[in-house]
């Protein structure tokens, strides 16, 4: 990579119409043609950790559109963890390929005097530029709609347009690294609780959705020291792992294991390590996967994973999609979990593993869904896919870091039913009731729950 000083290009400064007397909203755009891991720009401030959104435990939600399952979760937008290179889907959030434009909302939980809203992206091609409209609201307007879908003009339901961003006006669809900083010449953008990003594709084709690396909301008076974000925060626990694949008892599966399973493990184990990081924890650097004759599907004990050869054979005979690799991806989560303390309910251990498998690895169309009939007799503690879908609902609607926080608590032996209230303000029973009420009356039946296994404790 060339030195930063050689990578920077010209900066664009766009002034919008005055929103208040004597003040102007300004949109500052900076571009690095090759990029750098620290996202350093000539004029746009770099991304930080502990910004106002992070301190407020802000809720990032998708109002319209769909997250691409190959990319990071919404938490990638405000975790202070930056991609280290120009094509790292797991460390960026982007809308699904082939889908329409989307809308993202940031709920800051309370009104905050905002100094800047800064957005960052990085890709080596057409997914680098940023194109969006930014709206803000304090939620007090009559008829306020907190979640206006596309087709609804936010300005008609209590939102104020702050800025229109289109980095293409200066740099076209050039790849690289982009930083956008929205501020006001008066010093403050305003006092707001809600931010709405109306995001547009960079061009009208399937892969035109921006790779958003980070969104920072910076307050006029920070209550905590803001420190530079960086890739080392995400990468420190991911490197230098090794693993063994043993198919000696199932030689007919060697080709499948080496061509299908091994590439998936090489890619997804570091991702799980990153997703399940917690303070003071170092994930195992060595583990083993053995395919052999056994009952059930698969099981994990510490760092040893065993997989049923019969299960794999049945699955790979299916003509289209199958669960052969996915079942092992589930076990990889157990390797990373390392929940050795007592008191962790098995349904949560398995629910977390299936959450990461089904809502981050498997294709969107195969995610578990409850039918109205099944929902009537289901419980949040049913484990596996049912618990996983429930966890996804809680993370999407209450706290995008909820599963990550629960993982840290279980790893430290601190799990308690009270944590549901501590992290969301609602009991687990109330959250479950809210989830059941949110289900469509005629949804597709849930996928078959993974056969019962002994949880990896």
- Tens of pLDDT, residues 29-44: 999 998 888 899 999 9
The CATH architecture annotation of domain 4-234 reads: Sandwich (2.60)
- Tens of pLDDT, residues 217-228: 999 988 766 777
Nearest to 81 by CA among 20, 38, 24: 38
Band of residue 5 on the pLDDT scale cut at 50, 70, 90: very low
Asked whether the CA dihedral 194, 200, 206, 209 is positive or negative, the reply is negative
Q: How many alpha carbons lie under 13 Å from residue 254 in its C-beta half-sphere?
A: 6
For the chain, what are the domain ranges? 4-234, 242-438
Nearest to 247 by CA among 238, 258, 231, 234: 258
- What local confidence, expressed as pLDDT, does residue 445 receive? 37
- Tens of pLDDT, residues 147-195: 999 999 999 999 999 999 999 988 888 899 999 999 999 889 999 999 9
Contact 170, 29 (CB under 8 A): yes
- Tens of pLDDT, residues 321-359: 899 999 999 999 999 999 987 789 999 999 999 999 998
Contact 226, 48 (CB under 8 A): yes
Contact 247, 254 (CB under 8 A): yes
Whole-number Å distance between alpha carbons of 307 and 123: 37
Q: Which one is the CATH code of 242-438: 1.10.3210, 1.10.390, 4.10.280, 3.55.50?
A: 1.10.390
Among 88-102, 119-133, 169-183, the range with the most confident prediction by mean pLDDT is 119-133
Give the mean pLDDT of the chain. 86
Which pTM was predicted? 0.55
- What local confidence, expressed as pLDDT, does residue 1 receive? 37
Whole-number Å distance between alpha carbons of 175 and 354: 35
Contact 428, 417 (CB under 8 A): yes
- What local confidence, expressed as pLDDT, does residue 360 receive? 86
Whole-number Å distance between alpha carbons of 157 and 54: 27
Asked whether the predicted pLDDT for residue 455 surpasses 50, the reply is no
- What local confidence, expressed as pLDDT, does residue 230 receive? 66
- Tens of pLDDT, residues 366-420: 888 887 778 888 999 999 999 999 999 998 888 878 999 999 999 999 999 999 9
């Amino acid at each position: 990579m060339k030195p930063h000083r050689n990578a920077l290009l010209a900066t664009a400064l766009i002034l919008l119409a005055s929103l208040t007397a004597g003040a102007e909203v300004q949109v500052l755009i900076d571009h690095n043609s090759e990029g750098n891991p620290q996202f350093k720009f000539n004029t746009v401030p770099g991304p930080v950790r502990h910004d106002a959104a992070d301190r407020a435990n802000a809720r990032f939600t998708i109002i319209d559109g769909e997250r691409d399952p190959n990319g990071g979760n919404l938490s990638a937008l405000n975790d202070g963890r930056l991609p280290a290179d120009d094509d790292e889907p797991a460390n960026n959030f982007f809308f699904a390929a082939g889908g329409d434009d989307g809308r993202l909302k940031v709920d800051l939980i309370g009104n905050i005097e905002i100094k800047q809203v800064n957005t960052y992206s990085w890709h080596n091609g057409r997914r680098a530029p940023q194109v969006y409209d930014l709206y803000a609201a304090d939620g007090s307007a009559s008829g306020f709609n907190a979640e206006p879908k596309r087709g609804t003009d936010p300005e008609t339901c209590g939102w104020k347009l702050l800025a229109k961003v289109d980095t293409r006006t200066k740099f076209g669809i050039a790849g690289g690294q982009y930083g956008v900083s929205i501020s006001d010449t008066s010093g403050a953008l305003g006092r707001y609780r809600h931010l709405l990003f109306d995001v547009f594709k960079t061009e009208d084709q399937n892969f035109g959705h921006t790779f958003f690396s980070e969104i920072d909301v910076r307050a006029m008076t920070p209550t905590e020291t803001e420190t530079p974000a960086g890739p080392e925060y995400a990468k420190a626990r991911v490197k230098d792992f090794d693993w063994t694949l043993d198919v000696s008892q199932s030689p007919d599966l060697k080709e499948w294991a080496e061509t299908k399973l091994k590439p998936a493990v090489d890619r997804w184990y570091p991702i799980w390590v990153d997703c399940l990081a917690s303070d003071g924890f170092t994930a195992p650097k060595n583990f083993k996967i053995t395919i052999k004759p056994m009952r059930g599907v698969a099981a994990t004990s510490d760092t040893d994973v065993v997989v049923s050869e019969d299960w794999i054979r049945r699955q790979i005979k299916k003509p289209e999609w199958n669960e052969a690799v996915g079942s092992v991806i589930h076990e990889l989560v157990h390797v990373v979990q390392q929940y050795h303390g007592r008191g962790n309910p098995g349904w949560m251990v398995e629910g977390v593993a299936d959450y990461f498998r089904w809502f981050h690895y498997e294709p969107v169309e195969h995610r578990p869904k409850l039918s109205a009939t099944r929902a009537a007799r289901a419980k949040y503690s049913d484990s596996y896919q049912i618990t996983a879908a429930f966890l996804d609902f809680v993370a999407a609607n209450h706290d995008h870091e909820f599963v990550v926080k629960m993982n840290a608590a279980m790893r430290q032996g601190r799990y308690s039913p009270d944590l549901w209230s501590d992290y969301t303000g609602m009991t687990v029973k109330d959250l479950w009731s809210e989830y059941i009420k949110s289900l469509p009356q005629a949804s597709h039946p849930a996928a078959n729950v993974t056969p019962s296994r002994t949880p990896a404790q």
